[in-house]
Structure 1
């Protein structure tokens, strides 16, 4: 268990709300619609007190036909968005990582949606201000055009692409992710990053065929610098250079997915040819390099004896087929089984069993320098998630636990989220990491944190 060593030194919530001004009421309009005040005489008749006197009764004007009320044209863009503060505090500090505050981030998002009959537009732009580090930036999360027909949907631009059925375990989903946001307690939607891509979905005979072309490579965002703790195989003080693939057509990424219902199961087949979004360290050149990856895979999801059964398989064919180059990951087989069950009282519990098998393991071991940490030949990960709702589904509680018996590392997330109004919610949570310093989750043990998020939508 973790203990508090220091008190909070900064209130991590900076949040503003919009004040809605009431509209000014209009004066009452008389029943005759004339806009003037009607008064009553002593004999009970009515007259217009301000009407000019005339010697002869005025001629009756012909009644004008009433025009139909004009229907208000819908706006070209639907406008949505939110204001958000997301802060996280390190639980345990040390002399090496003395910073208690991991994040203090204010964010305003503007979402524009146009859904036309032939084409559409969808964009999400975040305006970010970090008062702790004193910087601001603009992040275009999504910005893409769409075109829809009875058989073909097209989308072109910055878009978030997701494959697979895993819960925080990614096999066929080889598209970029932001692991810094994940570690520091950002809302889970910020784990995924956008890619500049052209995507086509073709519907034929109950099958959906999805084709993806990504001309510009987007890597994973990984911890760097001195604020977050993470494992580096390089000697301390070594300047490390990140090397991304050049932007050429030959370095484009291509994806193909075919999906259809097979009996009661939503089944998909995948093929990806491109680059591994996670770089590999090259100790000789002191660089972090991305390598070519070919990935076929499949997934399924459907009912099984009162539960939801999920499965996924992927084969990672890397550039190092013999397994003798430590700068390139060995080829591997990966598979996952998941089971989810809904319990009485709005409670849901789910389990996952994941394994990764490294091929040519003997060549990998023979290439390791003496004393270097080694990866297991068969890496196993177990996860469990529990979630429920309270108070008319305005409160959502979640606990997610991951344990790797092969590397003996773990990750635990617990979160309480409550809707205060239809547009305002807050979340309080904790991220706990543990294990040996070179393992996947153990390297972030000193980054364990408490986080809070407050959001007002519009």
Structure 2
């Protein structure tokens, strides 16, 4: 298995080496002739499933990727373009992904404007999200792609207004950007309609919202830093980013309307950094909780702390809570035989990071564990920097759970290991 993964990544870089030989000269030419900064990487990743799954391929990831990141100062602002050319052997397709294409400028000292495709992110969680409701790629996260690919770009207008110690961020997305969810095409999942784990034999289609200027997203964050403590208020008006509803007429998944209102605080404490975040999820298409085909409203809470235990060793702990509202109505609306979710879903996370060999080797472990669902997700990873341009990474996504219908438990057959080799330029 490891031999296969090693050969996959090594072969990619061997093939790419001739093309990369003149990259430095090309970068110098672009900067001198057009004032364009050019960076990027070429990468190969391969990954295999640890258990046989009759509904899926043995390979979870097998791809070659070329990323180009171009930027140029233009007028009073900066123009940026980041695009990936991806050859995906598992999906058997060649894709050109436009990850970022935006222009940022400041018409006033207290105002920043960014127009175009951009990655939107805020909040205080470490791989846990409450007020960050922007689009994500969960499939990438579970198969071993770089964490960069967890976040998807949105075509948006973002305004940053600054006044003293306060800052106001306003975001408008004319057409909602949906998250990439687990639909069965590459990873198996719990299908409540079938009452079993399903994969490519039951790929769930969705009704993507496509009315520009009508299916829009609006978000704001008001933040301030007072005496070393960061405070923030959040608001969001749009849709669930993953399909949390079902159209009974077509059997397709839908994206119900959603409002999110929250707050966070982050400050130094006990030799590290602590954070507290809370959010109210207003499921606007089912505020009573009586519709079993639409997710209920919720309260969400996150408490975290991170600190250095000793030199080159850091640890982070988080506690996360989801409290389902109108729980009695939810139970009453459940179809007979359908497993019921708990009123309170508790989740604990642990992150350990160790740097070795003059910080060229990074060993890390991230663990999700839910004592209420009795399931878990383990993410061990080793990243070694061979040189300034070359790095190798190995890791795993290990899932376990007592029940098939819980969040991590449904992915038990998707446990995988992966290996990647990246050459930056």
Q: Same fold (TM over 0.5)?
A: yes
Between the aligned partners of 2:270 and 2:212, the Cα distance in structure 1 is 50
- Give the unaligned 5+ runs of structure 2: 25-30
Partner of 2:41: 82
Which of 242, 264, 274 is the matching residue for 2:228?
264
Alpha-carbon displacement from aligned partner over 1:118-162 (angstroms, at most 9, x marks no partner): 111111100011245442110000010111241111100000000
Between the aligned partners of 2:67 and 2:204, the Cα distance in structure 1 is 34
Between the aligned partners of 1:307 and 1:212, the Cα distance in structure 2 is 31
Asked whether the 8 Å contact 2:364–2:382 carries over to 1, the reply is: yes
Partner of 1:194: 153
Which of 302, 305, 313 is the matching residue for 1:339?
305
Asked if 1:12 corresponds to 2:37, the answer is no
Q: Which protein shows a greater Rg? A: 1
Between the aligned partners of 1:75 and 1:390, the Cα distance in structure 2 is 41
Trace 1:94-109 onto structure 2 (pairs within 5 A): 94-97=53-56, 99-109=57-67
Trace 1:39-78 onto structure 2 (pairs within 5 A): 75-78=34-37
Asked if 1:393 corresponds to 2:352, the answer is no
Tell which has more relative contact order, 1 or 2 (C-alpha 8 A, sep 6+).
2
- Give the unaligned 5+ runs of structure 1: 1-5, 24-71
Runs of 4 or more consecutive aligned structure 1 residues displaced over 6 Å after TM superposition: 236-239
Q: Post-superposition shift, 1:329?
A: 1.2
Between the aligned partners of 2:184 and 2:375, the Cα distance in structure 1 is 23
Between the aligned partners of 2:414 and 2:367, the Cα distance in structure 1 is 17
Trace 1:375-390 onto structure 2 (pairs within 5 A): 375-390=341-356
Between the aligned partners of 1:121 and 1:103, the Cα distance in structure 2 is 32
Alpha-carbon displacement from aligned partner over 1:35-82 (angstroms, at most 9, x marks no partner): xxxxxxxxxxxxxxxxxxxxxxxxxxxxxxxxxxxxx96742101111
Between the aligned partners of 2:364 and 2:354, the Cα distance in structure 1 is 7
Between the aligned partners of 2:139 and 2:314, the Cα distance in structure 1 is 28
Q: Which stretch of structure 1 is more off in the superposition, 442-451 or 85-94? A: 85-94
| 1:400–1:297 CA distance, 2 compared to 1 (3 A) | same
Asked if 1:182 corresponds to 2:141, the answer is yes
Q: Post-superposition shift, 1:7?
A: 8.2
Secondary structure at the counterpart of residue 139 of structure 2: helix
Between the aligned partners of 1:117 and 1:227, the Cα distance in structure 2 is 45
Alpha-carbon displacement from aligned partner over 1:153-204 (angstroms, at most 9, x marks no partner): 1100000000111111110010010011011100011000000000010111
Asked if 1:139 corresponds to 2:97, the answer is yes
Alpha-carbon displacement from aligned partner over 1:90-122 (angstroms, at most 9, x marks no partner): 11114344x221111100011111134611111
| 1:9–1:281 CA distance, 2 compared to 1 (3 A) | farther
TM-score, normalisation: structure 2 = 0.90
Between the aligned partners of 1:89 and 1:211, the Cα distance in structure 2 is 42
TM-score, normalisation: structure 1 = 0.84
Q: Post-superposition shift, 1:238?
A: 6.5
Q: Post-superposition shift, 1:274?
A: 0.6
Alpha-carbon displacement from aligned partner over 1:283-342 (angstroms, at most 9, x marks no partner): 723110001111111112110121210111100011211110011111111010001111
Greater fraction strand: 2
Asked whether the 8 Å contact 1:17–1:456 carries over to 2, the reply is: no
Trace 1:409-424 onto structure 2 (pairs within 5 A): 409-424=375-390
Asked whether the 8 Å contact 2:206–2:253 carries over to 1, the reply is: yes
Q: Post-superposition shift, 1:240?
A: 4.5
- The number of residue pairs the alignment matches comes to 403
Asked whether the 8 Å contact 2:183–2:205 carries over to 1, the reply is: no
Q: Post-superposition shift, 1:251?
A: 2.2
Asked whether the 8 Å contact 1:396–1:416 carries over to 2, the reply is: yes
